[in-house]
């Protein structure tokens, strides 16, 4: 992989594509792939999104989440705010209890490392899908 902004299905970014994210498929629009990097102490996963794939709105209670963008182009949006375009090298620090979504641009693969911030009683609440018309309006 010569350009970290250009990934293909066989590459999946720096940490590889992983397996189809079937366990969480009901919380995604489109196909995503999951490669667990560690489940010991700090849960860390490489998540790769096919073009147009995004997860539903969700909330990380207690601990929050950190995203390290490794390849492609995607978006992050907090409830009530404008979507932010993401590229390789971007870092998103998501505080606890903030409703948000993230995923690929319509025409580009996207990959990030997701780090779950440890906290007693941490949980994820999955909410509604991202509005298709609002997503389609993103560049």
CATH assignment of the domain containing 120: 2.60.120.10
**Phi, psi angles (nearest 5°) of residue 104:** -80, 155
Q: Return the half-sphere exposure (C-beta side, CA atoms, 13 A cut-off) of residue 136.
A: 3
20 compared with 8, residue with greater pLDDT: 20
State the average pLDDT for the chain. Answer: 91
Can you give the pLDDT at residue 3?
Answer: 38
pLDDT at residue 10 tops 90:
no
Spell out the residues 6+ positions from residue 88 whose beta carbon is closer than 8 angstroms to its own: 4, 5, 69, 70, 71, 72
- Whether 88 maps to a domain, the answer reads yes
Is 100 in contact with 78 (CB distance < 8 Å)? Answer: yes
Can you give the pLDDT at residue 1?
Answer: 33
- Whether 52 maps to a domain, the answer reads yes
Q: What's the pTM?
A: 0.90
- Domain of 29 in residue numbering reads as 25-136
- Whether 77 maps to a domain, the answer reads yes
Residues 98-117, mean pLDDT to the nearest whole number? 96
Cα–Cα distance measured from residue 1 to residue 7, given in angstroms and rounded to the nearest whole number: 7
- With CA atoms as reference, report the closest residue to 136 among 68, 51, 79, 72: 51
- Whether 10 maps to a domain, the answer reads no
Domain tally for the chain? 1
């Amino acid at each position: 992989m010569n350009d970290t902004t250009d990934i293909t299905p066989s590459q999946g970014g720096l940490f590889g594509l992983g397996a189809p994210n079937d366990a969480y498929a009901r919380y995604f629009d489109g196909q995503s792939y999951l490669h667990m990097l560690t489940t010991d102490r700090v849960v860390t996963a490489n998540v790769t999104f096919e073009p147009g794939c995004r997860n539903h709105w969700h909330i990380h209670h207690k601990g929050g989440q950190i995203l390290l963008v490794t390849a492609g182009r995607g978006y992050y949006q907090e409830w009530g705010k404008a979507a932010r375009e993401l590229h390789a090298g971007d870092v998103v620090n998501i505080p606890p209890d903030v409703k948000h979504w993230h995923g690929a641009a319509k025409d580009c693969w996207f990959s990030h490392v997701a780090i779950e911030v440890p906290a007693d009683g941490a949980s994820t609440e999955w909410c509604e899908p991202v509005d298709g018309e609002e997503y389609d309006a993103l560049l």
